[in-house]
Amino acid sequence: MANKFLGREDAPIEEKTWKALDEAVIRTVKAQLSGRRLLEIEGPFGLHTKSVPLEDAVIEDGKVSVYAARVLPVPLMQTTFTLSARDLAAFEKTGFAFDCKEVVDAAAAIAQAEDVLVFEGSKTLGIEGLLTAKGTASVKLSSWQDVGAAANDIIKAVTALDEAGFHGPYALALAPSLYNLLQRVYPHGNLTEAQHIQSIVGSKVIKAPALKQGGVLIASGKQFASLVLAQDLMVGFIGPTGSGFEFQLSESLVPRIKVPSSICVLKP
């Protein structure tokens, strides 16, 4: 249910219009988001959640131990879009679909920002991402142009996590250019490279549009890393503007990497 800070009750539109907006957003982000498919979600805990408590930092000062709380900030992401009042009125009266381009563009932008935060983190905010966390393992990728090279690299990554004490199952995210190569069929038989690699990983292999190159293999389980969700992605109402209405798309979340050694970065 939408929270009271979204202003939806102030909008002069019907419930079916809100439903159409929400569905357009959901369809768009489902095709874009990859971090949520890779990490388990904790929450949602609510818009009021501005930070996540971490373990105490301990400072030894002679005979006195000083404990200080550490926190992980939870960023709030927002973007806006405008829809024509006339188009919305036509939809409510006749059922003719309104132009969703503004909605789709806003949803795609915030989905991209979310995945950038998950994979790259934010130096400014002191947030580590899957690719930037300190203490992760890494494997240098070979060229995947030759059939079988991809499986060899993934086996190296799995072995690295095995040796660190994480024995699977794992989840694998790959840049689209690498993921697409895995759809090839092995010369002998009808098994694709993707099927072979999924059997090695033991869990899911996903295409991650936020990754321009390389990938990341993680040990599955929120005890290692998770996505802390305060407010899930929601559409809010801002007010009238010109010949239309302005809306806001917002969410607040943060990746929480608890055990960096459970991650293996696949470097190009």
166 and 93, same domain (yes or no): no
Element at 78 (helix H, strand E): strand 76-84
As to burial, measured by CB atoms within 10 angstroms (0-12 exposed, 13-18 middle, 19+ buried), residue 138 is middle
The answer to whether residue 66 sits within a structural domain is yes
211 and 87, same domain (yes or no): no
User: At 153, which CATH number?
Assistant: 3.30.2320.10
The answer to whether residue 217 sits within a structural domain is yes
121 and 156, same domain (yes or no): no
Q: Which residues neighbour 192 within 8 Å (Cβ) at sequence distance 6 or greater?
A: 182, 183, 184, 185, 186
8-state DSSP, 165: T
Instruction: Decide if 72 contacts 51 (C-beta within 8 A).
Output: yes
Q: Is the pTM of the predicted complex or chain greater than 0.85? A: yes
Please report, for the chain, how many H helices and E strands are present, in that order: 7, 15
Element at 88 (helix H, strand E): helix 85-94
Tens digits of per-residue pLDDT, 139-186? Answer: 999 999 988 999 999 999 999 999 999 998 999 999 999 999 999 998
The answer to whether residue 262 sits within a structural domain is no
Domain count, the chain: 2
169 and 200, same domain (yes or no): yes
How far apart (Å, rounded) are the C-alpha atoms in residues 1 and 17?
Answer: 16
What was the pLDDT predicted at 203?
83
The answer to whether residue 258 sits within a structural domain is no
Instruction: Decide if 135 contacts 182 (C-beta within 8 A).
Output: no
Tens digits of per-residue pLDDT, 81-93? Answer: 999 999 999 999 9
37 and 143, same domain (yes or no): no
Tens digits of per-residue pLDDT, 196-216? Answer: 999 999 988 999 999 999 999
User: At 38, which CATH number?
Assistant: 3.30.2400.30
**Which of the residue ranges 61-70, 96-105, 131-140 has the most confident prediction, judged by mean pLDDT?**
131-140
Tokens 């209405």 identify what position? Answer: 245
86 and 112, same domain (yes or no): yes
Q: Which residues neighbour 233 within 8 Å (Cβ) at sequence distance 6 or greater?
A: 25, 29, 107, 110, 249, 250, 251
Tokens 């490279």 identify what position? Answer: 193
Tens digits of per-residue pLDDT, 220-267? Answer: 999 999 999 999 999 999 999 989 999 999 999 999 999 999 999 999
The residue among 131, 104, 102, 99 whose CA lies nearest residue 118 is: 131
The answer to whether residue 118 sits within a structural domain is yes
155 and 119, same domain (yes or no): no
Range of the domain at 237: 4-129+230-253
Q: Is the peptide bond before 209 cis (omega within 30 degrees of 0)?
A: no
As to burial, measured by CB atoms within 10 angstroms (0-12 exposed, 13-18 middle, 19+ buried), residue 252 is buried
Per this entry, what is the length of the chain? 268
Instruction: Decide if 111 contacts 244 (C-beta within 8 A).
Output: no
Tens digits of per-residue pLDDT, 16-69? Answer: 999 999 999 999 999 999 999 999 999 999 999 999 998 888 888 778 888 888
C-alpha 71: how far from chain center? 21
The answer to whether residue 261 sits within a structural domain is no
Q: Is the peptide bond before 169 cis (omega within 30 degrees of 0)?
A: yes
